[in-house]
């Protein structure tokens, strides 16, 4: 027991860990080296390969996301451009429609003025024609009445020359200009 007791104080104090032996160090280094060689040959290439694959996947995802973002930006720019073009076209169509409507309105007004002017001129010609006919008819009536009155007063039938002279004298005394101008003014 004495041998045990002599070893107990050393074991209980923990001094054997502080004083490593050369044999323990050599074996630790050999085990560490073999472990590193095994890890270097078997585990590290797989870990590196997995990390490289993961890195490549992440880079591909980033590239895909970047391409998708660029495509989205292009599509958005194209959409905005098309929208601007559509707005410009719609504004142009509205402007053309307004100009066309204004032109049609002007044409309709001009045509209405021409028609009104033609109708007014036609009415004036019709009035003048009717007035001239009425004056001619009135002159004939006056001439006939003058001849009839003269024949009754003189109790004789007049020849053509006398009739013509009497009619011209009677018509000369009548003022038909007031009738024709008065009718045109009304």
HEC letters along 67-86 = HHHHHHHHHHHHHHHHHHHH
- Residue 167 · residue 111 · CB < 8 Å: no
Q: What is the dihedral of CA 105, 108, 113, 116, to 10 degrees?
A: -140
Which residue in 138, 141, 132 sits closest to 180, CA to CA? 132
Which residue in 59, 82, 83, 79 sits closest to 71, CA to CA? 79
Q: What is the pLDDT of residue 85?
A: 94
Per-residue pLDDT of the chain (186 residues; tens, 9 = 90+): 444 444 444 445 556 656 667 888 899 999 999 999 999 999 999 999 999 999 999 999 999 999 999 999 999 999 999 999 999 999 999 999 999 999 999 999 999 999 999 999 999 999 999 988 888 888 788 777 777 777 777 766 767 777 777 777 777 776 656 555 554 444
Q: What is the pLDDT of residue 16?
A: 60
**Strand ranges inside 40-170, DSSP E:** none
C-alpha–C-alpha distance, residues 41 and 35, integer Å: 10
Q: What is the pLDDT of residue 5?
A: 46
């Amino acid at each position: 027991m004495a041998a045990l007791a002599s070893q107990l104080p050393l074991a209980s104090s923990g001094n054997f860990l502080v004083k490593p032996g050369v044999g323990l160090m050599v074996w630790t280094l050999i085990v560490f080296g073999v472990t590193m060689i095994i890890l270097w040959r078997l585990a590290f290439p797989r870990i590196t390969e997995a990390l490289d694959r993961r890195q490549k996947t992440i880079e591909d995802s980033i590239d895909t996301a970047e391409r998708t973002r660029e495509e989205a930006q292009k599509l958005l720019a194209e959409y905005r451009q098309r929208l601007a073009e559509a707005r410009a076209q719609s504004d142009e169509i509205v402007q053309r429609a307004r100009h066309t409507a204004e032109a049609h309105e002007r044409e309709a007004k001009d045509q209405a003025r021409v028609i009104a002017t033609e109708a007014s001129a036609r009415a004036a010609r019709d009035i003048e024609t009717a007035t001239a006919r009425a004056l001619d008819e009135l002159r004939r009536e006056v001439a006939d009445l003058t001849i009839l009155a003269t024949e009754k007063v003189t109790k004789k039938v007049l020849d053509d020359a006398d009739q013509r002279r009497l009619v011209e004298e009677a018509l000369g005394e009548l003022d038909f200009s007031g009738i024709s101008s008065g009718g045109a003014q009304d």
